[in-house]
Amino acid sequence: MSEALLQLLGITQEMLITGFVVMLRVGGAMATMPALGERGVPMRVRLAATIALTVIVAPMVEVPYYSSLTEVAFSMTLASEAGIGVVFGLGLRFFIFVLQVAGTMAAQSTSLSQIFGTSSNVDPQPAMGHLLVVSGLTLAVMSDLHVQVAAALAESYRVLPVGAVIGASDVLEWGLAQTTRAFGMGFTLASPFIIASLIYNIALGVINRAMPQLMVAFVGAPAITAGGLILMFLATPHLLSLWLHALNTYLATPFGSG
């Protein structure tokens, strides 16, 4: 019986070490990823989600044998796995940055940048950006974000197995590419508002030249505000569908994109 108990303890220890190694990457991702990693989510909920994702991902990946946690701590695994997880989460966080950029540009183009939305879940920003971020997070969660994240984390072990080290130059190049894409996509999503603002300002200039005595700014301000709100109502569903498609495409190959 004692031999069977020792064998059981050995299996349990191996499972715990494997789970701990996988949890390093999952925990790093949870610290920076959107939705589940937001500041407004209670710490206990985030911890429970991290453990749940670890239990889901661990059976799908291959982890080298470690005799003890001490061996893990004195290897590169501790730092590399956490770093890979953080990079994975930051890749998803860039998509929230896209919505923030688009919302800020849209608000500035329609003279609504002084109206701020407040929430404990997202950073202070114009109301348009707040609406886009909250709507995007809700849409992503409703589209099984947690399932796609679990699959993407499992796929990440094929590209970057346990113990793999990402070079600083690779991270810099990847971050530059993601930042460039985020700004480009943010500008694309805000383009209807920018075009509307351009047309508005050209029309305002023509009217001002035709009737210099008319205070066109006072007449046009309500028009651009109402037009921006109407355009927001009409364009937001389409803009968010484009954003969600880009997010799903990224999750299919998180370390092979850009």
Taking a C-beta distance cutoff of 8 angstroms, is the pair 40, 120 a contact?
Answer: yes
Q: For residue 115, what pLDDT is reported?
A: 60
Tokens 């037009």, located at residue: 227
Mean pLDDT is highest, among 41-50, 200-209, 210-219, for 41-50
Say how far apart CA 6 and CA 244 lie, in whole Å: 50
Higher pLDDT, 235 or 127: 235
What integer is the mean pLDDT of 189-195? 91
What integer is the mean pLDDT of 14-30? 86
pTM score: 0.83
The DSSP symbol for 40 reads: T
Q: Among 45-49, 65-69, 250-254, where is mean pLDDT lowest?
A: 65-69
pLDDT in tens, 107-127: 888 877 666 555 555 566 778
Q: For residue 258, what pLDDT is reported?
A: 47
Name residue 116's beta-bridge partners: 126
Non-local CB neighbours of 142 within 8 Å, separated by 6+ positions = none
Q: Among 12-16, 22-26, 27-31, 84-88, where is mean pLDDT lowest?
A: 12-16
pLDDT band at 191 (very low <50, low <70, confident <90, very high): very high
Q: Which parts of 86-245 are beta strand (E)?
A: 116-117, 125-126
Mean pLDDT of the chain: 82
Taking a C-beta distance cutoff of 8 angstroms, is the pair 214, 208 a contact?
Answer: yes
Q: For residue 242, what pLDDT is reported?
A: 93
pLDDT in tens, 81-98: 888 899 999 999 999 999
**Helix-, strand-, coil-residue percentages of the chain, each rounded to 5:** 75, 0, 20
pLDDT band at 11 (very low <50, low <70, confident <90, very high): low
Over the range 53-73, which residues count as b (16 or more CB within 10 Å of their CB) and which as e?
bbebbbeebebeebeeeeebe
Asked whether the predicted pLDDT for residue 219 surpasses 80, the reply is no
Higher pLDDT, 232 or 72: 232
Residue 141 CA, distance from chain mean position: 12
Q: For residue 247, what pLDDT is reported?
A: 93
Q: What percentage of the chain exceeds 90 in pLDDT?
A: 25
Asked whether the predicted pLDDT for residue 99 surpasses 80, the reply is yes
